Structure 1
Amino acid sequence: MVSRVWAALELSLTCISAFSLISPAWFQTATFSFGVLTYCSWPQSDRWNQSCGTFRSLDDIPDFAWKVSAALLLGGWFLLAFNAIFFLSWALVPKGLCPGRGSGKMPSVQAAAATTTIVGLLVFPISLASPFAKEACGASSAYRRGQCQLGWGYVTTILSAVLASLLLVIRWPRMTKVRGPTVLFSSDTEKIILVPEMSK
């Protein structure tokens, strides 16, 4: 039951992260918005009549910092997806077939996903100095958004990175093994004998 809850949480986090990655609403003005992989424009008073485009490869992305950020964010998403698939396999496989399914390197994959996503989020605002962002946002520069407003796509990605970190912190104590001295009871002397644990 617990593994199914973790699988559902990991899968939800992966979907939220994917949705925010393909969102064009990271930075936006009254007539234009752009994200890591997509951008949209629309007439001044008609937001429903949008025309959108996609950066199909890293070569299409207009700035080097933007490319680095996109690679990091996609890498973080792939690690989250791998982690979610792994948890899902634990949840679906019967207990008898996989006795050691609570162990393994999954916390390190989750930590790598969260760290990679956070670094990608920190690198992305450097791309506000690119000609593409300056044309959209006016007087923008690295970490200064000019006339652009922060959109929900960027905020959602921040929240998914925070949730990935929180899931890691919540799960980590279950993965640690507490070691202590072995306690033996002697019936002859009615005393407790403490024996230090030997390394295996």
Structure 2
Amino acid sequence: MAGGSQSSAQTALQEVVEDTERLRRRVRGDRHASSVPLLVFGGLTFIGAVLVSDPGSWDAYWLLAGPSGFLGTWLWYSRQESQTGVGRGRGSYLPLGVAVLLAVLFVPLGFVAPIPAAGLGLAVIAIRQRNGHLGLWAVMFASIGWLEGRYFISNKLDELTDSAGYAFGHLDRSGHAVFALTGLALLAGGGVALWKENRR
């Protein structure tokens, strides 16, 4: 008799543990910890690459877009928290948005580029949230922003067209193409994250 009640208690305990784990997965999915920032910054990057034609305006665009991206993400999580009771988790986007804005405004020009600053801000949040998916994309975003800020990727594209024997020379707006593709990649990464989050 005692063995039967002990077995029932273990089964009930196992069910509670499984239900708790299922609830944790669902809560993590409801937070959209990876998808929202990737979709926001992917959209901002793609829109900027398409609409900002003057290279000198790119930093001015990101002076507004970077903090706005963090603010928008913070507003999303605040709304989710008030509607569902599911918190933002570790790491807040609002202070990072302000930090990115202040870094771009007050650090000497050229020392901190806006896209790497935004990417590093996302990486800090990913580390605090222990979110490897977001961290991987954040590092990629910051790295491409830093490399293209020095025209490294554009120059490589130009070298490829020159070596292929194209007579028209350098690609027009190759930097825009690099950032448009980066934005699309972030959107794709955010889409995959959203799909995974909704499956939980």
Which structure has greater strand proportion? 1
Bigger RCO of structures 1 and 2 (CA < 8 A, at least 6 apart): 2
**TM-score normalized with structure 1 length:** 0.29
**TM-score normalized with structure 2 length:** 0.29
